[in-house]
Amino acid sequence: MKNTELKVKDELQEESLFNGSLGRRSFLQFAGASAAGLALVAAGCKKDRGYTDTTMGATLDFKDDFGVLNYAYALEQLEAAFYIKVASAPPASFSAAEKAYFQDIQFHEIAHREFFKNALSTAAIGSLEVDFSSINFTDRTSVLGAAKAFEDLGVAAYNGAGIRIKTDAYLVLAGKIVSVEARHAAYIRELISVGSFSDLNDLTGLGANVAGGLDASLTPDKVLAAAGKFIKTKINVINL
C-alpha cells in the first residue's frame, strides 16, 4: 500500500499536466489525453477502498486520502455529465461566446474527472448514474441556475474537504482544481447578474463568511445531501 501511495503522489506532482505554458485549448486536450496515462498499480487496495456495486451503490470511505479523492471524483463525474449535456445542445438563447465558454468548462470538468479516475485506478469508485430530470436544458435560466448550483457546491466541497487531506501533493492538486471551479462559478454568476461574480452574500448557506472574505465551505455529508437529487446511484459514506 505504501508503494501505491508514493506512486500516486508522484503522478499528482507531474508538472506536464498542469504546465502553465500550454495554451488554453491545448491544455484542455492535453489534460484529457495525458490523464489516461496516469493509471496506478493499486493491486491489493480493492478490499479496503470504496467501489460501485450495482446493488449496493458507491461507498466513500473517508478513513484516508483515497476517500477524499473518490469524493472529488464523484463530484467531478456529476459536473462533467452536466456540462457534456449542455455543450452538446446548448439553449438556443446562448450567444456564440457563451456556447464556446461552456465547451471550455466541459473540457475542464472532463479533464478533472479523468484525472481522478486514472490516478485512483482500481481504488476508484465506479461510474455514477445521474438524474437531470429537474433541469430544462432548452431553457437558459434553468441551465444557468443549475450551473451556478453545481459550481458553488463544488467550490464549497473542495474547501470543506481540504482539512481532511493529509498528503501535501493531494492538497496542492485540490487547490489547483478548486481555483478553476471558482473561475467557473464567477463566470456563471456574471452571466446571471452582471457584477455579482464576487458576491458572497448568497453563499452564507454554503458556509461563506462575508465579513471575513472567506468562500463557501461544506462538509461532505452536506454536499452529498445537496447533490443527491442529481445522482441516482446510492452513495454510502463511512468513517466521516
Residue with cell 473542495: 158
pLDDT at 13 > cutoff 50: no
Domain boundaries in the chain?
Answer: 61-122+132-238
CB 58 within 8 A of CB 233: yes
- 42 by Cβ neighbours in 10 Å (0-12 / 13-18 / 19+) ranks as buried
The strand pairing partners of 214, in sequence order, are: 209
Q: What average pLDDT is seen over the chain?
A: 81
CATH T-level topology, domain 61-122+132-238? Ferritin (1.20.1260)
If we measure between CA atoms, which residue out of 27, 113, 35, 31 comes closest to residue 69?
Answer: 113
pTM of the model: 0.78
pLDDT digits (tens, 9 = 90+) for 77-102: 999 999 999 999 999 999 999 999 99
